Structure 1
Amino acid sequence: MSPIPSSSPVAARFVVRGLVQGVGFRAATCRQAQRLELRGLARNLPDGSVEVLAEGAPDAVEALAAWLQHGPPSAQVEAVSRSEAAAGGRSGFEVA
């Protein structure tokens, strides 16, 4: 019996728009990503949105994508866009 192959890591870039700055969105995203064992970062963009780069197991990236649709209770997410991203080789998840 051969071992089940593991899924290759994937990377995605999300831009979250709405009331997402000044409400703890990046810190909450970091905690959620760490629970999911993802690598990457969350940072504010000049236009008031938050950029999230996430890399890891496909199911974990999908779980974060679903969480980003609403974020923490203090946020008011209006839209989330997603695009493919290059693997960044990060060792953890950080707030930038």
Structure 2
Amino acid sequence: MIKTYEIIVHGHVQGVGFRYTTKQLADKLGIYGSVKNLNDGTVYIVASGDSLILQKFISSIKVPKSPFAKVTSMDIKEIDSANYSEFKVVY
């Protein structure tokens, strides 16, 4: 079943390669959507894909691949599905 989540990531997640590694993970898992920095220091992700794969994606971003990033918490909410054809970094 395809689901779409809005995820706000808190912690030390800007200026440390977090968006880039999130995109790499999404591409590897076949997740579509986007990732962008917000003015308050958080990172905003919209992720759409198979519900089981999305759970793996969410678990993986809780423990970032970047050695400089640290996730302290995430706000996750399911939203209406949208048609994405790729996962992109929004600047």
Q: What is the TM-score normalised by the length of structure 2?
A: 0.93
> Deviation digits for residues 51-90 of structure 1, max 9, x if unmatched?
1110011111101110121212220111111001222211
Q: Identity, % of aligned pairs?
A: 30
Tell me if structure 2 keeps the 8 A contact 1:14–1:51.
Answer: yes
In terms of mean alpha carbon deviation, does 49-58 or 65-74 score higher? 65-74
| Higher Cα Rg, which structure | 1
Q: After the TM superposition, list the runs of 4 or more consecutive aligned residues in structure 1 that deviate by more than 4 angstroms.
A: none
Find the partner of 2:82 among 70, 84, 88.
88
The root-mean-square deviation of aligned C-alpha atoms, in Å, is 0.8
Task: Provide the C-alpha distance between the structure 1 equivalents of 2:57 and 2:80, rounded to a whole number of angstroms.
Answer: 17
Equivalent position SS for 2:16: coil
Q: What is the TM-score normalised by the length of structure 1?
A: 0.88
> Deviation digits for residues 17-60 of structure 1, max 9, x if unmatched?
01000000001000001111010000001100001110011111
Match of 2:12 in 1: 19
Task: Provide the C-alpha distance between the structure 2 equivalents of 1:49 and 1:31, rounded to a whole number of angstroms.
Answer: 19
Equivalent position SS for 1:10: strand
Q: Can you give the 5+ residue segments of structure 1 that lack an aligned partner in the other structure? A: 1-7
Q: Can you give the 5+ residue segments of structure 2 that lack an aligned partner in the other structure? A: none
Match of 2:32 in 1: 39
Aligned length: 89
Task: Provide the C-alpha distance between the structure 1 equivalents of 2:28 and 2:9, rounded to a whole number of angstroms.
Answer: 20
